[in-house]
Structure 1
C-alpha cells in the first residue's frame, strides 16, 4: 500500500539519485518488502512491514563509492564487504534522511528493528548526537557535527 510516508521517501530517493523499483520479492531478505539488487532497492509495498527500513537500506547504497555501488546485493556484508563501520555510517545516513524528511524517530527506529536496540538508538541520536556520522564527514557527505550546517545536515547524499 502506498502511504504518504512511502511516497515522501520515494520522492526523496528520486531527488537524490537512489535507484529503486517496485517488484514482487519471491525470497525473503533481511527486511520484509525490501532487497538490494545491484545497488538498486527492490520494493514490494504489499510486503513492506516498516517503510523506515527503506531509509536504512538506502544508507548502505549511499555510502558506497559510485564505482562500487552496483556490487551491493541483499547481504551487504558479503556482497560488498561492509562491516560494523559501514553499518554505523548507514544508520547515521538514515537518521540524516529522516531529519530531512521531517519524520519521527520511531519511523526509522521502530520496535521491530535494530535487534531490540531501537529505544537506545533514539536516545543516542536525539540526546547524544548519534554515531557513525564521523564516517559520513570523512566520505565528504557532510560537515562534522557541531559545525554550522554540520551533521545531520548533508552536503550531498551519495558518496562519489
Structure 2
C-alpha cells in the first residue's frame, strides 16, 4: 500500500509539472508495444497508460524529448523519437539533463528518473555524474536557451522549460 501511495504522489508531482510548463499529455489505453511501458509520444503529446506504466520517472525523460524540440517541430514527434528521427539522436544529452533538472524542481530523487532498469545500465553512473555536478551536455542545454552555467539561472535551475 505504501508503494501505491508513493507512486501516486510522484505521478501527481509530474502531472502538475507538465500542466505548469505546458507539456501536452493525456491518459489512454495503449494497445501497441511501446519503447517504454505505458508511454507513447503521438504528434508531440505524451500518451500515458497508467496500467502499463512501469517507471513514473520515464515520463520526465520522454517529456524532455518534447521540451528540447523546437516549438514548431514538436507536433511531428512520434513513438521512439530517436529511432524515427536521426536528427534527434544528438538531443539525448540535453534530455538527460532536462529530466534531471525537472526531477530536482519537483522534489523527486534522481533515482526516480535514473532507475536501474534504464539507460542501458548507465543509470547509476549518470546519477553519480549529475549529483557531483558533472553536467555532461550542459553546453547543449545552454545553446538551446534553457539554462545557464552561472548566475540566477545556473543549472539545475532553468530559465525556460520548453525550447522556443
TM-score exceeds 0.5: yes
Under a length normalisation based on structure 1, what TM-score does the superposition of the two structures give? 0.93
Residue ranges of structure 2 left out of the alignment (5+ in a row): none
Q: 1:66 to 1:80 in 2, by over 3 A?
A: farther
Number of equivalenced pairs: 159
Deviations 1:123-146 (A, max 9, x none): 1100142212211111111112x4
Under a length normalisation based on structure 2, what TM-score does the superposition of the two structures give? 0.91
Residue ranges of structure 1 left out of the alignment (5+ in a row): none
1:59–1:93 CA contact under 8 A, matched in 2: yes
- Cα RMSD (Å) of the superposition? 1.5
Aligned pair 1:152/2:139, yes or no?
no
Alignment-derived partner of residue 46 in structure 2: 41
Equivalents in 2 of 1:101, 1:54: separation in Å? 13
Equivalents in 2 of 1:9, 1:109: separation in Å? 15
The Cα of 1:95 is off from its aligned counterpart by 0.5
Q: Which moved further from structure 2: 84-93 or 55-64?
A: 84-93
Alignment-derived partner of residue 13 in structure 1: 18
1:4 to 9, 15, 38: 9
